[in-house]
A = this chain, B = another copy of it.
Amino acid sequence: MTINRKQQEFEFKKNLIITAAEEIFFTKGFENTTMLEIAHKVGYSKGSIYSYFKSKNEVCFCIINNYFMSIANLAQKILEQDITGLEKIITFKDRFLREFSQKEDFRKIFETFKYHRNQCMEMEDEIDKNKNYNIEINLAIRQYLQEGISDGSIKDDVRIESLAEALWGEEVSFISELGIKGENSFNYLFELIINSIKQV
């Protein structure tokens, strides 16, 4: 059996665990889910889970990283669309909101990720992956802005780096409040920002 084949099987099993874990996390929340439950759901014993993941926390990070990958892909796909830079900014926000932040399940697990992301021992891999996705997303947004300036949809005096960081930061951080305040207040805020950067 080749090394490659082994690797594939390993990844496949890892994915089985992630899928099962995600489902339970989504229904019961991170804290109320035990490693034993996850294991049983995949037909494994508890110990086995630990040969695929270093900790319960890492399982959560892997799940989140899958979502970050989707978001990074989304950002890339929008980049290729034939619309103005400003429209790309708006499209990204709309799609992000619709696909990721509207689901309460996702919001909850995302909260867990945000909560634990700083006390992460021994899972540099996942942390690095996450950082890279963040960079990808950030770069895409910078390009939206750059294009917007070129195509005349965005004012040419916006500070691209700061704004890209801030926009993505805002979308990520506001997720926590969406359950409490609803989408309206977020959308209004976004509208005001857009208002402030669009070329008139």
Contacts and interface: CB of A to CB of B under 8 A. Distances in A.
Interface of A: 29, 31, 108, 111-112, 114-115, 118-119, 159, 162-163, 165-167, 169-170, 172-177, 179-181, 184-186, 188-189, 192-193, 195-197
Nearest to A32: B119
A62 to B, nearest CB: 19
Q: Tell me the number of copies of this protein.
A: 2
A29 to B, nearest CB: 7
Contacts of A193: 189, 192-193, 196
Contacts of A176: 114, 173, 176
Contacts of A184: 162
A194 to B, nearest CB: 9
B169 A186 contact: yes
Nearest to A190: B166
12 contacts: A111-B115, A112-B115, A114-B115, A114-B176, A115-B115, A165-B185, A166-B188, A169-B186, A170-B189, A176-B176, A192-B197, A195-B196
